[in-house]
Amino acid sequence: MSDTSNQPNNQPLPMEVEEGKDYFWCSCGKSAKQPFCDGSHKGSEFKPVKYTAEKSGRVFFCGCKNTGNSPLCDGSHKTT
C-alpha cells in the first residue's frame, strides 16, 4: 500500500494492553483515537482489526497502516 493519505503516523505506537482484552485497531488512518478505531471508516472499504492481548504489557501498534502483521508494527514504516 503506497497511498499515504491514510498514514496518520510514520512510527510504531506503543500502548499498554491487558491480557484477554480486545482492542480494535484503526485500519483506515482517519481515527482521532489512533491507533484505535473511532468509527471514522464508516462508508469506506476499511474495517477495524480486532486484537486480543495474549498478555498484559506494552505492544507496538502500526501507525503507518502498511504493516504485513496488522495490527502490530513490523517495521514497514521504515520503507514508506
Q: What is the pLDDT of residue 16?
A: 98
Handedness of CA 63, 65, 67, 69 (dihedral sign): positive
User: With a cut of 70, which residues of the chain have pLDDT below it?
Assistant: 1-8, 80
72-78 long-range Cβ contacts below 8 angstroms, 24+ apart: 73/12, 73/13, 77/10, 77/11, 77/12
Note the pTM of the prediction, 2 decimals.
Answer: 0.84
Q: What is the pLDDT of residue 79?
A: 82
Q: What is the pLDDT of residue 26?
A: 96
State whether residue 48 is helix, strand or coil.
coil
